[in-house]
Amino acid sequence: MQVTTRQETVSAVTDDLLSRMTLREKVGQMTQLTLQAISVGQNEKGDQVALDSVKLRKALVEDHVGSFLNVFNQAMSREQWRALIGEIQQVARSETRLGIPILYGIDAVHGCGYTTDATLYPQNLNLGATWNRELVREIGRETARELTQNGTFWNFSPVLDLGRHPMWSRFSETFGEDPFIVSELGSEYIRGLQETEQYIAGCAKHFIGYGQAPTGRDRTPTFIPQRILRQLYLPPFQEAIDVGVASIMVNSGEINGVPVHSNFALLSTLLREELCFNGVIISDWEDVQKLHTVHRVASDSKQAIQMAIDAGLDMSMTPFTTEFSQLLVELVESGSVTEERIDSSVRRILDLKFKCGLLQEIKAHSADDEEAGVGGKPVGRYGNRSPEISRTEKQDELSFRAAVESIVLLQNKNDILPLNPRARLLLKGPAADSLAMIHGAWSYTWQGADEAAYPDRLQTVRMALNQNFDVVDAEVDCDAVVVCIGEHPSVEKPGDIDELNLAADQQTIIAEAIETGKPVILVFFAGRPRMLSGIQEFVSAVFWAGQPGPFSGQALSAILSGQISPSGRLPFTFPHSGSVFFTHDHKWADKVGADYGVAQEYSMNGVRPAWEFGHGLSYSRFQYSRPDVAVSSESVSVSFSVTNTGQRAARENVLVFVRDHFASITPEVKRLAGFETRWLDAGESTKIDLKLPYEALSFISMANERIVEPGAFSVLVGGQEVEFVLTNICLASRREIT
Ligand code: BGC
């Protein structure tokens, strides 16, 4: 029997479909509408989600729309999701000429969001604090399992932007400030999402350079030199493409005066040609239109569409109208866009649908080659066909574990923690009784702020602590005050803020807690740092808890009571002041103090953090041996042992940094080069052998090439620094991104 490869089968199916499609059907596939565009209500308060059969048929049968996204401002049950998507698929399959199913996309940013009976996980920034690749991959897998049940096979996740500006309202969606951790965890998540039979197409976003505006505000202009774009912002996307990410969403903003949606150099020359990305490039929300209405590089909608198509876009999240496809037909008919250009996008979109298991039955309909191997069984995954599963203990357990591993203990004066399990606690602060503050955005609703949207089964921090401790009402009765502060969730434009200071009423709550004279334990629930303005000096312990999700309370309780030692480490630099921001990979000039000296330690006038990137305390102690560093022709081997010298089992996250002492472009003081996570029993030792590729020592030159210059370097690990020398090595053009 002749064996047909999966790729050949995909191509055969899509080529066959393409050859039978009209121009209008093709541009319809390139159009994505939001649910509101085909619904009865318009998402006003109290509106139930109900499809409008006239609008639905118009979108599918007349306008040939190929994809939908989103949800109303309310979560739905799994059954509602399946019924909704089943209804759309039914019309798409049986009433459209070619019967091509639609692909429904959703932002399952930290678990299968917008679904009442699914499990949510900590936000990405928290996952960054776990430094745990295996955990992130597992979360990707479990999210895929739940999305499959809903019939939403396209996930607009992971965010591969860098969290380098703490004012940015999407900081919590990033895995942290550093390109290496974002690359590593982002690619693990994609693997998890796309690797199982439950294949869910990932969407790496937002390509490229999003969130770096000097204003800190969402979608405001950014200035990024090509060299920096390649050094910092490109690697996570390169890695995502290397592991086969199915789609990429474009950054809504502009870089150096050019909106990314109209940037041929970024979308075609860089992304398609240089990075060899052959998946679907989708716009962000209404962003083609915004080339005209906001960015004003196009004088009308038609020119905006032409610019985006010329730049390399495959699909437009329009999301309310089909003007995109109507005007695109006109552009082709007038000869301004070729039909071949349209075909290349539609082929990629159909390939994506095939990967999601949506075209297998089409193939069976038309099939002369019905028996051809597809490299996996056809799954026929229409919304109303998926086998039923319920939220499992495994998923809840995973979410709990992720929450525990993501909480960072920043300060523990006199080892006040862990607490005696009989300790009586007074609980203060708005986050103690808020489900919204511990979840953050993209939860059951977009902004995540509506307390009523959270399912009854979830516990607040107060409810969870009550199960391990005696939670008292009066300060005279308590042994310690736990103050749960933070921020009310918000994201994107609604999340723009003017300053990083903690809200005044919350500062008052902390001050009142300090006045009780009892030990104060500050727990900080927010998807970024907020300024504590030195108040930490007057409290005993401080946690950055982030937004750990549904098991926040249980996780905090397990840590406070000492059942589990904290192990999280900051994936970002916690600034000392609300107006001076910097990252761990800052330059030496940043450190110059008032005496113009370059201090090794942080000085008053040089940059200094409240807590450094990678900081995080444990209840145990770990000792690192001096690293052995050996240079070979391919990599730098770093070997050392880590011993748990404390009294209790604990997890240790091992961070390895490198330092280039002198270079033709000012070198960073240090840069993250590797990380590992280990669970160690008391007294247990583990050997860590890392091979750092030369890339870890490389940088982008003025000629925009990735190079390594010979000279002196250091490895920094566990508070130790070991120097080594690279001789006669210059690896220009080592990786295809140069
Ligand atoms: C966000 C994207 C998101 C899209 C669809 C946009 O506003 O920037 O991250 O995927 O909406 O919800």
- The pLDDT tens digits for 126-185 are 999 999 999 999 999 999 999 999 999 999 999 999 999 999 999 999 999 999 999 999
Top pLDDT among 366 and 119 is at 119
Rounded to whole angstroms, the Cα distance separating 31 from 309 reads 12
Instruction: Tell whether 582 and 683 lie within a shared domain.
Output: no
- The pLDDT tens digits for 622-672 are 999 999 999 988 899 999 999 999 999 999 999 999 999 999 999 999 999
Residues 558-572 have a mean pLDDT of 98
Query: Is the per-residue pLDDT at 368 higher than 50?
Result: no
Q: How far is the CA of 70 from the centre of ligand 1 (A)?
A: 9
Residues 595-613 have a mean pLDDT of 81
Rounded to whole angstroms, the Cα distance separating 617 from 301 reads 54
Rounded to whole angstroms, the Cα distance separating 468 from 44 reads 42
Q: Is the pTM of this model over 0.85?
A: yes
Task: Reduce the DSSP state of residue 3 to 3 states and report it.
Answer: coil
Please give the pLDDT value at position 3. Answer: 60
Is residue 385 included in any domain, yes or no?
Answer: no
Is residue 575 included in any domain, yes or no?
Answer: yes
Query: Is the per-residue pLDDT at 732 higher than 90?
Result: no
Instruction: Tell whether 491 and 574 lie within a shared domain.
Output: yes
CATH number (domain holding residue 129)? 3.20.20.300
Q: Ligand 1, atom 5: nearest CA belongs to which residue? A: 285
> Residue 470, class by beta-carbon neighbours within 10 Å (0-12 exposed, 13-18 middle, 19+ buried)?
middle
Query: Is the per-residue pLDDT at 12 higher than 90?
Result: no
Whether 107 sits among the annotated catalytic residues: the reply is: no
- The pLDDT tens digits for 418-444 are 999 899 999 999 999 999 999 999 999
Instruction: Tell whether 101 and 190 lie within a shared domain.
Output: yes
572, 616, 574: which is closest to 405 by C-alpha? Answer: 616
Is residue 9 included in any domain, yes or no?
Answer: no
Q: How far is the CA of 317 from the centre of ligand 1 (A)?
A: 9
Q: How far is the CA of 446 from the centre of ligand 1 (A)?
A: 10
Query: What mean pLDDT value characterizes the chain?
Result: 92
- The pLDDT tens digits for 195-244 are 978 899 999 999 999 999 999 999 999 999 999 999 999 999 999 999 99
Instruction: Tell whether 555 and 576 lie within a shared domain.
Output: yes
Q: How far is the CA of 157 from the centre of ligand 1 (A)?
A: 10
Ligand 1 atom showing the smallest separation from residue 70 Cα = 12
Q: How far is the CA of 467 from the centre of ligand 1 (A)?
A: 38
CATH number (domain holding residue 666)? 2.60.40.10
Q: How far is the CA of 483 from the centre of ligand 1 (A)?
A: 33
From 35, 159, 285, 294, mutation site for ligand 1 pocket: most ligand atoms within 8 A of C-beta: 285
Residues 340-352 have a mean pLDDT of 98
Q: Ligand 1, atom 10: nearest CA belongs to which residue? A: 156
Q: How far is the CA of 541 from the centre of ligand 1 (A)?
A: 37
411, 702, 421: which is closest to 558 by C-alpha? Answer: 421
CATH number (domain holding residue 512)? 3.40.50.1700
Instruction: Tell whether 607 and 626 lie within a shared domain.
Output: no
Please give the pLDDT value at position 60. Answer: 98
Instruction: Tell whether 538 and 587 lie within a shared domain.
Output: yes
Query: Is the per-residue pLDDT at 695 higher than 60?
Result: yes
Domain boundary (591, 611, 631) is at: 611
The partner residues of 523 in beta bridges, in order of sequence, read 484, 543
Is residue 126 included in any domain, yes or no?
Answer: yes
Domain span at residue 52?
A: 23-372
Name 484's Cβ contacts closer than 8 Å, sequence gap at least 6: 427, 428, 429, 430, 431, 432, 461, 523, 525
Please give the pLDDT value at position 364. Answer: 46
Instruction: Tell whether 336 and 398 lie within a shared domain.
Output: no
Ligand 1 atom showing the smallest separation from residue 205 Cα = 9
Instruction: Tell whether 463 and 576 lie within a shared domain.
Output: yes
Confidence bin at 415 (pLDDT 50/70/90): very high
Query: Is the per-residue pLDDT at 374 higher than 90?
Result: no
Cα 62 from chain centre: 36
Is residue 13 included in any domain, yes or no?
Answer: no
- Tell me how far apart the terminal alpha carbons of the chain are, to the nearest angstrom: 44
Q: Ligand 1, atom 6: nearest CA belongs to which residue? A: 285
Rounded to whole angstroms, the Cα distance separating 202 from 617 reads 34
Confidence bin at 376 (pLDDT 50/70/90): very low
Instruction: Tell whether 410 and 316 lie within a shared domain.
Output: no
From 109, 217, 284, mutation site for ligand 1 pocket: most ligand atoms within 8 A of C-beta: 284
From 107, 207, 219, 282, mutation site for ligand 1 pocket: most ligand atoms within 8 A of C-beta: 107
Ramachandran angles phi, psi of 482, nearest 5°: -100, 120
Q: How far is CA 493 from CA 169, 290, 446, 583, in A?
A: 7, 15, 12, 24
From 36, 154, 156, mutation site for ligand 1 pocket: most ligand atoms within 8 A of C-beta: 156
Residues 570-574 have a mean pLDDT of 97
Residues 519-527 have a mean pLDDT of 97
Please give the pLDDT value at position 598. Answer: 78
Pocket of ligand 1 (CB under 6 A): 69-70, 107, 156, 205, 252, 284-285, 492
Instruction: Tell whether 603 and 628 lie within a shared domain.
Output: no
Is residue 4 included in any domain, yes or no?
Answer: no
Is residue 700 included in any domain, yes or no?
Answer: yes
Domain boundary (611, 631, 662) is at: 611
Residues 256-277 have a mean pLDDT of 98
CB atoms inside a 10 Å sphere around CB 3? 8
Per DSSP, 593 falls in state -
Q: One of 284, 287, 351, 585 is an active-site residue; which one?
A: 284
Q: How far is CA 622 from CA 423, 609, 614, 658, 679, in A?
A: 28, 23, 15, 21, 11
Instruction: Tell whether 568 and 429 lie within a shared domain.
Output: yes
Q: Which of 121-125, 382-386, 622-626 has the lowest mean pLDDT?
A: 382-386
Is residue 598 included in any domain, yes or no?
Answer: yes
Instruction: Tell whether 471 and 569 lie within a shared domain.
Output: yes
Look at the chain and report how many structural domains it folds into.
3
Residues 498-515 have a mean pLDDT of 94
Domain boundary (587, 611, 635) is at: 611
